[in-house]
Amino acid sequence: MLLYLVSTIGGFALIVWGADRFVSAAAGLAALLGVTPLVIGVTIVGFGTSAPELMVSASAAAQGLTAMAVGNALGSNIANVGLVLGATALVRPITAELTGTVKAEVRLLIILTALAALVFVDSYLGKLDALLLLAAFLGFMVWIIRSGKRKPEITQDAGDEEVIPHGMTLTSAGLWLAVGLVVLLAGSNALVWGAEHLALELGFSELVVGLTIVAIGTSLPELAVSLVSAVKGRAGIAIGNIIGSNLFNLLAVVGIAGLIHPAALDGSVLKLHYPVMAGFTLALLLIAYNPLGKPGFGRGMGTVLLAAFIAYQVVLLTP
């Protein structure tokens, strides 16, 4: 028990420090490359912070625990919106006027979420399903990179206008990005390690463990990066992080798990967990379109998202 406690405290400390370095380097890199913080958030930051989901899911699938791998991906997407975006909005409301590219990315995420449901209709994740998901992921990558180069359409917060720390170069930005990511992953692994084994010993199923303990643990990098980005006024990175991470989890993480170990899935995936994830994903529409006011997330919406996320966790953990 003492070892678990030390691992948890140490993991949190590593995550806080790593997130600060990672966000500063990512923001500087976006400015140095001449692309929007949103594009860097969707690609480098979003995919980088999803590395724990990828590693955990690939490891679980290799051990024949495909249900845990899928649960980790879906649960992480739920946590990214309910926990990460909800907490971020409470700390600092996201009120930036985001247009053009971000609207297209939110719409694309929702469309791909709806289409990906077809993969789970037969409650079986096969290699063909996995290849289709990975092909969609590669297509998105090509689109977002080309889109970011052609038209950086985003109204930036004041914090995004001067993001290059004194003396930062492409080399130093890349180095700090790598250091920050490694520290983030180390901290996340330290936290997930103890919680995952404890939950399994208490008798929870693989799917539930993947949807709760593992999903929240592997979403800690997104939480740390988004909170730091919000505090520093870099809405582009915070929002791009969520969009990129959710796309990566849904398409790449599930796809790789299916390639490693095709397997039948619990019927509750399609009946409960996938619809819940889709519902949280639809909430992202309020970033770009909000008929009741300005686009974005205020503290009221943040509270609603957090409450919904907590309610879902209670349902999962209730016998």
Measured on CA atoms in the order 291, 293, 297, 299, is the torsion positive or negative?
A: negative
Q: What's the pLDDT band for 152 if we cut at 50, 70, 90? A: very low
Residue 98 pLDDT > 60, yes or no?
no
pLDDT at 191 over 60: yes
Tell me how crowded residue 112 is: count the other CB atoms within 10 A of its CB.
Answer: 20
Q: Select the more confidently predicted residue: 186 or 97.
A: 186
pTM, 2 dp: 0.75
| CATH code linked to domain 36-158+187-317 | 1.20.1420.30
Range 293-314 average pLDDT: 83
* Mean pLDDT of the 21-43 span: 71
Per-residue pLDDT at 1: 62
Q: What is the pLDDT of residue 176?
A: 84
Average of pLDDT values for 200-208? 69
**pLDDT over 80 (residue 294):** no
Q: What is the rounded CA–CA span in Å between residue 88 and residue 86? A: 5
Domain ranges (residues) in the chain: 36-158+187-317
Burial of 10 (0-12, 13-18, 19+ CB in 10 A): middle
Query: What's the pLDDT tens digit per position in 225-257?
Result: 788 777 777 766 777 778 888 988 899 999 999
pLDDT confidence bin for 151, thresholds 50/70/90: very low
